[in-house]
A = this chain, B = another copy of it.
Amino acid sequence: MPEKKPFLAPTAQARQMAQGLIAQADHAALASLSPDGMQPSVSRIALAQGDGGVVLSLLSDLAPHKAALRAHPACALLLGQPSGTGDPLAEPRLTLHATAQILARPSPAHDAARRRFLAQRPKAALYADFGDFHFVVFTITDALLNAGFGKAYKLTQTDVQPPTPSP
C-alpha cells in the first residue's frame, strides 16, 4: 500500500489561492502560547495587509494574546472564512506560521504600519493611538493551505508573497 502523504507539491493555483486568502482577510484566528509556555490559546484578531508580504494587526494590552506574543513571538494565523453554507471543511483556509513583532512608538515602523492599517480599517483610528494598543507585524515563515478534503499544500514564505504589493 503506498504511503499517504500529508501535503501535495505546491502548484501555481495553490499559491494564487493562498495569496488571495491573505489579500482578502480582514480578520484571523491567532494561535499564541501562554507566557509559561504551557497553554496554547486562540483568539480572533483584526488583520490588514502590510508592505512586503507581512500582515498587520492592532492589539490591546487587555487581551491575553498580547502578553503571549511578547513572551513567545512564534505564532500562527488561520485565514479564510467559511461561507456559512455547505461543509466548512470543504472550503479553503490558510494557516500562516509567523513571528510577531509588537511595534514601539514613536518609530518609523509604527508609523508605516499605522498608515497601512488605517487605510484598510479606518474605524480603528478611534483607538489606534491609545497607549495600551500597539500595531503588530506578523512576518510569515511558512504556510499550510487546505483547499478542501485531500488538498493540503505546504507553502514557503515566497509562495504566499503577492507578485506586486497591493496599494
Contacts and interface: CB of A to CB of B under 8 A. Distances in A.
Given A26-B88, A63-B6, A152-B62, A76 B41 contact: yes
Interface size class of A (residues with CB under 8 A): 35 or more
Contacts of A40: 31-33, 40, 72, 74-76
Interface string A5-38: 1100000000000000000001101111100011
A84 B64 CA distance: 25
Contacts of A45: 89
User: Quick one: copies of this chain in the complex?
Assistant: 2
Interface in A108-167: 123, 132, 144, 146, 152
A87 B82 CA distance: 16
A42 B62 contact: no
A37 B37 contact: yes
Given A31-B41, A40-B72, A43-B144, 12 more contacts: A29-B31, A31-B40, A40-B75, A40-B76, A41-B95, A42-B76, A42-B77, A44-B89, A44-B146, A81-B88, A84-B84, A87-B123
- Minimum-distance CB pairs A-B, first 6: A31-B31, A31-B42, A29-B29, A31-B40, A6-B62, A27-B88
